Structure 1
Amino acid sequence: MRSDASDDALTTLLLPFEQGLLDWPADGGVLFLRARDGYALHARPRPGLICEQGFRPEAERLERSGLVVRQPPEDEPARWPLVMLLPPRQRDESRALLARAVASCAPGGRVLACVPNNEGAKSAEDDLRRLAGPGRALSKHKCRAFWTAPLDAPPDPALLAQWRGLDAVRPVDGGRRLSRPGVFAWDRIDAASALLIEHLPTSLAGRVADLGAGVGVLAQAVLERCPGVTALDLYEAESRALELARRNLADARVPVAFHWHDVTAGIDARFDAIVMNPPFHAQGRGDRPDIGRRFIEVAASALRPGGRLWMVANRHLPYEDALAGAFAGVQVHAQRDGFKIVEATRATGRPR
Structure 2
Amino acid sequence: MAADRGDAALEVLFLPFATGALAWPRAGDVPFLRARDGWPLREAARPGLICEQSFRPEADALARSGWRVRDAEAVDAESGDDAASHPLVLLLPPRQRDEARALFARAVASCAPGGVVVACMPNDEGAKSGEADLKALAGLSGSLSKHHCRVFWATVDASSTDAARLAEWSTLDAPRPILDGRFVSRPGVFAWDRIDAASALLAAHLPDDLHGRAADLGCGYGYLSVELLRRCPGIVSLDLYEAEARALALAKRNLDAFAARLPLGFHWHDVATGLPQRYDVIVTNPPFHAQGRAERPDIGRAFIAAAADALHPGGRLWLVANRHLPYEQVLDARFRTVRTVAQANGFKIIEAVNA
Q: TM-score, normalised by structure 1?
A: 0.96
1:108 aligns with 2:100: no
Q: Displacement of 1:287 after TM fit?
A: 1.0
C-alpha separation between the residues in 1 aligned to 2:230 and 2:32?
41
C-alpha separation between the residues in 2 aligned to 1:154 and 1:232?
50
Unaligned runs of 5+ in 2: none
Aligned position for 2:200:
194
Cα pair 1:154 1:160 within 8 Å, conserved: no
1:112 counterpart SS class:
strand
Aligned position for 1:231:
237
Aligned position for 2:228:
222
Aligned-partner residue type, residue 48 of structure 1: G
C-alpha separation between the residues in 2 aligned to 1:155 and 1:284?
31
Structure 1 pair 338/77, CA: closer, same or farther in 2 (3 Å)?
Answer: same
Aligned position for 2:47:
47
2:256 counterpart SS class:
coil
Q: Displacement of 1:171 after TM fit?
A: 0.5
Aligned position for 1:62:
62
Tell me which of 90, 100, 104 is aligned to 1:94.
Answer: 100
| Aligned structure 1 segments of 4 or more residues deviating by more than 6 angstroms | none
Aligned position for 1:151:
157
1:210 aligns with 2:194: no
Aligned position for 2:346:
338
Cα pair 2:207 2:232 within 8 Å, conserved: yes
Aligned position for 1:71:
71
1:275 aligns with 2:283: yes
Q: Displacement of 1:155 after TM fit?
A: 2.9
C-alpha separation between the residues in 2 aligned to 1:89 and 1:346?
39
Task: Give the aligned CA root-mean-square deviation in angstroms.
Answer: 1.2
C-alpha separation between the residues in 1 aligned to 2:219 and 2:160?
38
Q: Deviations over 1:155-213 (max 9, x none)?
A: 32111100111101000111111000000000001110011011111111110000011
Q: Deviations over 1:102-132 (max 9, x none)?
A: 0110111110000000011010000000000
Cα pair 2:274 2:306 within 8 Å, conserved: yes
Q: Deviations over 1:210-258 (max 9, x none)?
A: 0011111110001100000110000000000000001111121211000
Aligned position for 1:299:
307
Unaligned runs of 5+ in 1: 348-352
Tell me which of 133, 136, 148 is aligned to 2:139.
Answer: 133
C-alpha separation between the residues in 1 aligned to 2:160 and 2:234?
55
C-alpha separation between the residues in 2 aligned to 1:5 and 1:296?
29
Cα pair 2:219 2:242 within 8 Å, conserved: yes
C-alpha separation between the residues in 1 aligned to 2:43 and 2:161?
35
Q: Displacement of 1:33 after TM fit?
A: 0.2
Tell me which of 276, 293, 296 is aligned to 1:285.
Answer: 293
Q: Displacement of 1:134 after TM fit?
A: 2.9
Q: Displacement of 1:4 after TM fit?
A: 4.9
Aligned-partner residue type, residue 130 of structure 2: A
Aligned position for 1:325:
333
Structure 1 pair 314/74, CA: closer, same or farther in 2 (3 Å)?
Answer: farther
1:127 counterpart SS class:
helix
Cα pair 1:6 1:38 within 8 Å, conserved: no
C-alpha separation between the residues in 2 aligned to 1:142 and 1:161?
32
C-alpha separation between the residues in 2 aligned to 1:81 and 1:152?
15
C-alpha separation between the residues in 2 aligned to 1:21 and 1:86?
19
Cα pair 2:272 2:302 within 8 Å, conserved: yes
Q: Displacement of 1:273 after TM fit?
A: 0.4
1:179 aligns with 2:189: no
1:174 counterpart SS class:
coil
Q: Displacement of 1:74 after TM fit?
A: 4.8
Aligned position for 1:10:
10
1:11 counterpart SS class:
helix
Cα pair 1:35 1:85 within 8 Å, conserved: yes
1:285 counterpart SS class:
coil
C-alpha separation between the residues in 2 aligned to 1:70 and 1:231?
30
Aligned-partner residue type, residue 65 of structure 1: S
Identity among equivalent positions (%) equals: 63
Q: Displacement of 1:150 after TM fit?
A: 4.3
Cα pair 2:5 2:39 within 8 Å, conserved: no
Q: How many residues align?
A: 347
Tell me which of 163, 166, 170 is aligned to 1:164.
Answer: 170
1:197 counterpart SS class:
helix
